[in-house]
Amino acid sequence: MAEAVSEDLKETPLAALHRELGARMVPFAGYSMPVQYATGIIAEHNQVRDSAGLFDVS
């Protein structure tokens, strides 16, 4: 199913990087934000547990 794109959504400074890394972007608080990546949620969880995580709220 195709995702709807709204021209009203703002983008954070890291939006292009998120897309480059395969993020699925969704609307959140007026912004296009990454919700998950192609590698899957388990890989994301392990990365945060083993290294660090960053939530882009810029």
pLDDT, tens only, 7-50: 699 999 999 999 999 999 999 999 999 999 999 999 999 999 99
Asked if residues 10 and 56 have their Cβ atoms less than 8 Å apart, the reply is no
Closest by CA position to 38, among listed 18, 53, 15? 18
pTM over cut 0.85: no
pLDDT of residue 54: 82
In the chain, where the domains are located: 10-50
Name 30's Cβ contacts closer than 8 Å, sequence gap at least 6.
8, 9, 10
pLDDT, tens only, 1-10: 555 554 699 9
pLDDT of residue 55: 77
pLDDT of residue 33: 93
**H helices, E strands: number in the chain:** 2, 3
Token pair in block for residue 53 = 């995580």
